[in-house]
Amino acid sequence: MTATQDAHGRAAAGQGQDYDAIIIGAGISGMYQLLRLRELGMKVRVFEAGTGVGGTWYWNRYPGARFDSESYSYQYSFSKELLQEWSWKEHFAPQPETLSYLNYVADKFDLRKDIQFRSRVKSAHYQDRSRTWQITLEDGSTHSARFLITAVGPLSAPTMPRLEGVGSFKGEAYHTGTWPHHPVSFEGKRVAVIGTGATGVQTIQEVAKTVGHLTVFQRTPNWCKPLKNGKITDEEQKKIKSSYDEIFKRCDETYSCFLHTPDPRRTLEVTPEERVAFLEKLYETPGFGMWQGNFSDMLTDREANRVISEFVAQKIRQRVKDQKVADKLIPKNHGFGTRRVPMETHYYEVYNQPNVELIDIKETPIERITPKGIKTTAREFEFDMIIYATGFDAVTGSFDRIDIRGANGLSLKDKWKGGIETFVGVQVDGFPNMMMLVGPHTALGNIPRSIEFNVDWVTSLLKFMKENGLTLAEAKREAVDEWTDFVREKAKGLLSNEIDSWMTGVNLNVDGKSQRTLARYSGSAPDYRAWCDRVARNGYRELAMA
């Protein structure tokens, strides 16, 4: 027994371990959690795989990467001073601007001194006797803390396609989620893009501006909607800066924390003329309005969804000259809004360029990547560059890539094998003192709004524990059951949960992810917050504490 342990080998809070809390990840979640825990006087260490802060906006440097959330609704809201100091230049900021913002935040709050970069966490094991977590980095070093806080990101574990020969290609090859820091030129080159999700769409429309020849390999077309981005004028800037209270209040009130709210009317209760006029207006509205602010039954009523999808299909037919190509770009296996809607700027017009070709890999599947390019069942292509816009092992991917073991050596991956179960997306029974930020089953939507809530909730819990001399918090089994049932209940009747997508846990490039699961909470953010607030107000009865 050491001086810092009691008779049961348990370390007292703040003693016998390297840190009070270890946070994994220095994106928006990890940075804000660090700041909040410092305010509690806790000794905190953040381990981050990258060489800088920013998470998503550090890694995704691919051409065309930018927000789909309005810049001013996405940023941190916790500091009025910061809100006034930072001026967004565009309504939907490009990645370099967002990364600059997050670096500015790191400087302003002196965050870097507690962040260890180039430090990928390989394992995190709970020590039953000392009630601490032992973290091992890829370099073999170990670190311990009372609390383990995961801020690993819902979309941060890139996946490559399961194709033979990946790695044999002799030209340039990039994954959008690990895009290099050096400039990449497309000029005069023969470029292939594999993938047409939100990232693929942003990449394609940008690469097409300078490329020699572009070949797009598409498995599933998505319903894309014009972003309608623009510079923020001085006048708009003044208005934005004077209305932050209203902006964030509105985000707090909406279903998914966006500025857009659904129209209370049902799609088919209005006249066809009214409907078309409304949809035309939404099509021209910047951002997610058409997805988040459409008729109230768009995502629950099949016929409503069909009618709205047909409106968008018509737009695609109008914008793409070759109707055979247009047809390939129109989704057939899901309706508008039932998967993440990519935002675009002249995406469909790209296919009118003579130097752009669309290959439907459901018709002619890719057989393999070759040293010179890509071989499908119909043709052999030669390329100078292949861009993998094949997305992420979403939601649980970054957890699965760490060997996380809770009490009695229970592995988190095994625990979730039969389906994800959490308590408000923050805790898992059997994993004491582990808190997840934007983990599975938390409200997502306009994510930083959910991040700030999650972080504040975890901070209040840790404060409560500190004030009450508690060193252990673990969700009770019945609390996990109750929350998981609520998540299931909220998923019912939503067309999006009948579709394969990362939101339903499907990724055919990942073992064990071919079946739909409830990967996310699909109820409203206000309902989510109400549940969490009730738990806090009642003194965390849902958690076993000691």
Ligand X SMILES: Cc1cc2nc3c(=O)[nH]c(=O)nc-3n(C[C@H](O)[C@H](O)[C@H](O)COP(=O)(O)OP(=O)(O)OC[C@H]3O[C@@H](n4cnc5c(N)ncnc54)[C@H](O)[C@@H]3O)c2cc1C
Choices 54-62, 229-237, 478-486, 503-511; region in contact with ligand X by CB under 6 A: 54-62
Assess 69 for contact with ligand X (CB under 6 A): yes
Q: How far is the CB of 484 from ligand X (least distance, A)?
A: 22
Spatial distance between the Cα atoms of 530 and 136, rounded to a whole number of angstroms:
36
Assess 397 for contact with ligand X (CB under 6 A): no
Q: In the set 10, 21, 64, 68, which binds ligand X (CB under 6 A)?
A: 68
Cβ neighbors of 420 (< 8 A, separation 6 or more) are 395, 396, 440, 441, 505, 517, 518, 519
Count of positions on this chain that bind ligand X (CB under 6 A):
37
Binding mask 180-209 for ligand X (x = CB under 6 A): -------------------x----------
Tokens describing residue 244: 């932050």
Instruction: Report the candidate in 129, 97, 119 with the shortest Cα–Cα distance to residue 22.
Output: 119
Spatial distance between the Cα atoms of 317 and 265, rounded to a whole number of angstroms:
27
Closer residue to ligand X in complex, CB, 144/199 = 199
Assess 501 for contact with ligand X (CB under 6 A): no
Residues 220-259 that bind ligand X (CB under 6 A): none
Closer residue to ligand X in complex, CB, 153/430 = 153
What is the biggest distance separating any 2 CA atoms in the chain, rounded to whole angstroms? Answer: 79
Characterise 337 by phi-psi region: left (phi > 0), alpha (psi -120 to 50), beta (else): left
**Residue 529 Cα to chain centre, angstroms:** 19
Assess 404 for contact with ligand X (CB under 6 A): no
Assess 447 for contact with ligand X (CB under 6 A): yes
Tokens describing residue 98: 């967002």
Q: In the set 83, 135, 145, 152, which binds ligand X (CB under 6 A)?
A: 152
Closer residue to ligand X in complex, CB, 90/498 = 90
Residues 106-125 that bind ligand X (CB under 6 A): 120-121
Tokens describing residue 124: 């995190």
Spatial distance between the Cα atoms of 299 and 302, rounded to a whole number of angstroms:
8
Assess 155 for contact with ligand X (CB under 6 A): yes
Assess 48 for contact with ligand X (CB under 6 A): yes
Q: Which helix (H) or strand (E) holds 435?
A: strand 434-436
Spatial distance between the Cα atoms of 146 and 398, rounded to a whole number of angstroms:
21
Spatial distance between the Cα atoms of 227 and 328, rounded to a whole number of angstroms:
21
Assess 387 for contact with ligand X (CB under 6 A): no
Q: How far is the CB of 149 from ligand X (least distance, A)?
A: 11
CA-CA-CA-CA torsion sign (512, 513, 517, 520): positive
Assess 543 for contact with ligand X (CB under 6 A): no
Q: In the set 446, 459, 496, 522, which binds ligand X (CB under 6 A)?
A: 446
Would you tell me which residues interact with ligand X (CB under 6 A)?
A: 24-30, 47-50, 55-56, 58, 60, 65, 67-69, 74, 120-121, 151-156, 199, 398, 401-402, 437-438, 446-447, 451
